[in-house]
Amino acid sequence: MRSSVFLRNALFCVSACFLLNGCAAPGAPSDSFKPRLDESYSLDAAMEYSDGKTAQLALTRYAAGSWEAEFSEPETLSGVLLRLDGNAVSASYKGLAFTVPKSALPAKTMLCLMTDVLDGLGTTDALSFTAQQDGTHTAEGDAEGGHYILTFADGGELRCFEMPGQPLKITCTNYQPIAQQTEQTTHTETTASSSSEAETTTTTTENEGVSQ
């Protein structure tokens, strides 16, 4: 009898802790969790694909359909920069453009599976998340490439993309949002500079007219 009461009280305390901390119990829906996927961001990615192949790269998203992937490993891809712009894919190495090498095609295909899913998410409010024992939150879905699993850290950052049927696993670290103001600031500075030059030209012309 005492053990039964103790067990009931223990379960009550555990449930109360989750409620007070605003956390979902492992395996339970985490309705309050909000993932962080900014419009533009960068991260480091470690790919495992095609039964044993691996690759390391820096991945940058500028907007929906606009990505860059710069490989550091394997040696055959080190320094290769892939640009994904909608359905178009281009490659360069140290600033020199060239045709996407055959050695990069499998990695490019696997990478596009993830970028297509992330671009297709739209609003993450439609995703249903489940709390895991390690503190992460997962969401699952189906895409053209197969069933996928997204894993996010408790802070909202993307941690992993998996598509078991490929097989494909991309582990993500160092998630960093890219400030949207950079392009606007550059545009403003360029406009201000152009206006200043125009004013200088006008003033010079007027002065020349006075001198004459």
Confidence of residue 125 (pLDDT cuts 50, 70, 90): low
Quick one: pLDDT at residue 101?
85
CA-CA distance, 100 to 90, in Å (whole number)?
Answer: 6
Mean pLDDT of the region 197-202: 46
Confidence of residue 187 (pLDDT cuts 50, 70, 90): very low
pTM to 2 decimal places = 0.72
Quick one: pLDDT at residue 14?
39
CA-CA distance, 16 to 167, in Å (whole number)?
Answer: 40
Mean pLDDT of the region 101-124: 89
Quick one: pLDDT at residue 185?
45
pLDDT tens column, 16-40: 443 434 455 667 776 789 898 899 9
Quick one: pLDDT at residue 24?
52
Confidence of residue 180 (pLDDT cuts 50, 70, 90): low
Quick one: pLDDT at residue 123?
61
pLDDT tens column, 145-173: 999 999 999 999 999 999 999 999 999 99
pLDDT tens column, 68-105: 999 999 999 999 999 999 889 999 998 899 888 888 99
Quick one: pLDDT at residue 117?
94
